[in-house]
Structure 1
């Protein structure tokens, strides 16, 4: 069995796409997953599975949510090893920053720097971003809500053909802890 985190994009935000976590857990258990737990109301679930891989598990969960709840939800599934590697590869001094200043956008596929070539990095300083393995790290000293760089990074032409979902550093670290406990 491998332990995974499912990252759901855009649920329970602003009264839209309401998906109760208890019902999500039941749905995932019905799909044959073990040790299903949810974290917060914003769309993180930890589970163990002996079948499938990250992509097939995400596709299965996406389809099941739409069937059961009547609206589409983008899902990214990542295993404990990957989640740990994301934390270890952080190019910013995470221990010195407040969690609200550091975010990771998980991407459904690898991206190249060329996708972001038209972003004037100097114009957004002191905000910065860096690419990782299917992840984008964002340092936003004033928080995500005020970040002009986050706005530029989320433009449709940059995220075209990708699922992208962002988590603050506290959640990034917590997912590593939760998936380790499940292993």
Structure 2
């Protein structure tokens, strides 16, 4: 059975859109998904399903609204896509730096060529970004805090005209490991 990762946007941030991972896991299980597991409080759910990615996104977003009472954008990737994303990151943070970090913004859908062109015009003297070959991820190298970066999740959403959710490199790496374990245990 295909394995997926659902990445929820903007939950458990600053006391907003609070969802306990135990409750989120139960919701996924009640929806009939197999081998459900969550990772940290930012809303990362690994699971198995025969449904398509598009159908999964719609079903999960609707169910979150029904169960928790608020709208949450859900970004879906297969475990294989997640592995590809982490294996093809163009940046590597300096391991001796306390602040330099790599982030990956995962887009809910492919942006228009016009909006991609708008983003590509943006620059920073400090941070760098690169759009993935699939045009569904933006890799970000922050040489200072992400909070001080130009390339925040909200900035990317505004420029690209699509919803996104951002994860740090450590989270993406761990999700890849968990996803590989899920697929090898099947």
Structure 1 length-normalised TM: 0.89
Structure 1 unmatched runs, 5+: none
Matched, 1:116 2:119: yes
Deviations for 1:24-48, whole angstroms, at most 9, x for unmatched residues?
A: 1111001110111110011101111
Question: Which of the residues 129, 135, 138 maps onto 1:136?
Answer: 138
The 4+ residue runs of structure 1 with deviation greater than 2 A are: 93-100, 110-113, 148-156
Return closer, same or farther for 1:43/1:4 CA change in 2, 3 Å cut-off.
Answer: same
State whether structure 2 residue 82 is matched by structure 1 residue 83: yes
Is the CA contact 1:100–1:169 (under 8 Å) kept in the aligned structure 2?
no
Which residue of the partner structure matches residue 181 of structure 2?
181
Cα distance in 1 between the residues matched to 2:23 and 2:154? 35
Structure 2 CA distance for partners of 1:155 and 1:58, relative to 1, 3 Å = closer
Runs of at least 5 residues in structure 2 that lack an aligned partner in the other structure: none
- Does the 8 A contact of 1:102 with 1:140 survive in 2? yes
Deviation at 1:118, TM superposition (A): 3.8
TM-score normalised over the length of structure 2: 0.87
Answer yes or no: is the 8 Å Cα contact 2:157–2:163 preserved in 1.
no
* Structure 1 residue 95 displacement after superposition: 7.4
The 3 A distance-change label for structure 1 pair 26 and 104 is same
- In the alignment of these two chains, the number of paired residues is 177
